Amino acid sequence: MASRDRDLRSSLLPDSDNDEENQLSSSDEEDDEHKECIKPEWRSTICGGLIVLAVALLMVGTAAVIMFWSGPAGMAPTCRKGGVMAVLNNTNIFVWSGEGKGGIQDGTPWKFDVKERVWSKWLQADGEGAPPSRWKAVADTIPGGGLVMFGGDTNMKTEPFKGYLNDLWIERPLQKHPAANSAYKWDLINVTVDDLPLPSKGPDLNALPTDTPLQKHAQASNGLTLGPQQRRAHAGATLTTRSGEQYFYIYGGRTADSGILTDVWRVRLDTESPHWELEWSGEEDAPQPLPRKGHSMVMANTAQKPHHPVLIVYGGRNDTTYHGDVWAFDPLQKEWTLLHDGSSPQGSSDEAPIPRDHHVAVVRD
């Protein structure tokens, strides 16, 4: 994780999970041995066009490598934060919802063609339902096409999609459309709960002992079944097993009453009867990350176990502290391992990123 070719890449986004502005400060002083280096500050946002190449100036002695910002011309999504973004079929980036100026949530779906560098509005199939606009939800690509999305905050004051949510949606692109542009459809997934104590006659939380994981972590999902608690600013990632099973994992986040979560849930996607499983409740007496929101999570293979994917969690914050640590969750062993404590230096890294929340992480093949 500390090598120059990091699998975990993060970029600092100026955002906060609270209404008041939160700021991070760092020293402007440089070490005397590195005065020949100009250390770039990486910032990006979706505002009038997708930034597809970063700006940096790296000087080592007399050699210099120059990169530059580049964005498409023409129509593009409006400024927003906390939107849903996922890569589709390795050629398109899907952007949806988020919160814009004045707290307005725009539910117009957009698609960015990476090769042509062109934005276009993505068409929804006629007669199909769609999730309400929201921000600070999480989504990830489904192998074979489409994406899965969970939770977020609609800012609505009325049911059925009031405020913080724990609904699960799958978006599937359609192959053909009369308008000669790829269309899509959303499906709201009704999910049951597995491996948890359930009452025999329906999901009555009050009928359960107060010390059960279900009582502590689960509430109504889609109004019909049980699942993870409503949340925003959580993280999620898809994982495909060696046998081809497809799972979607979520971790952490913030609740409507400002609680910070540390639970891990998963749902199997490649089945007609998906069900939630509580993988980690945060109660075990074992190494584990602190509860957090605004963190990132990706699925990746490690050098130690190249065919054993793990979930890599970085950063985030609680009510008082920004985190810069890196953790790995093993889905098979159901245990956490600390990969980097956020201090600097460590291993071959000259420095560690500044602790942050509401950033982005991707896996580089």
Secondary structure class of 267 (helix, strand, coil): strand
What the block records as the tokens of 152 is 């977020």
Q: Regarding predicted confidence, which is higher, 173 or 97? A: 97
Note the pLDDT of residue 189. Answer: 84
Q: Which of 171, 13, 182, 180 is nearest to 91 (CA)?
A: 182
pLDDT of 277 > 70? The answer is yes
Note the pLDDT of residue 220. Answer: 38
**Where is average pLDDT lowest: 180-194, 246-260, 322-336?**
180-194
- 220-235 confidence digits (pLDDT tens): 344 334 678 899 999 9
What the block records as the tokens of 211 is 């010390």
Q: Regarding predicted confidence, which is higher, 26 or 102? A: 102
Query: Containing H/E element for 216?
Result: helix 213-217
What the block records as the tokens of 238 is 């898809």
Structural domain spans, the chain: 79-362
The yes or no reply on domain 79-362 and CATH 1.10.10 is no
Task: Return the percentage of the chain with pLDDT > 70, whole number.
Answer: 64
**pTM confidence score:** 0.73
Cα dihedral 323, 149, 124, 146 sign: positive
- 96-140 confidence digits (pLDDT tens): 999 998 888 988 889 898 888 899 888 776 556 788 899 999 999
Pairing mode of beta strands 123-124, 183-189: parallel
pLDDT of 295 > 90? The answer is yes
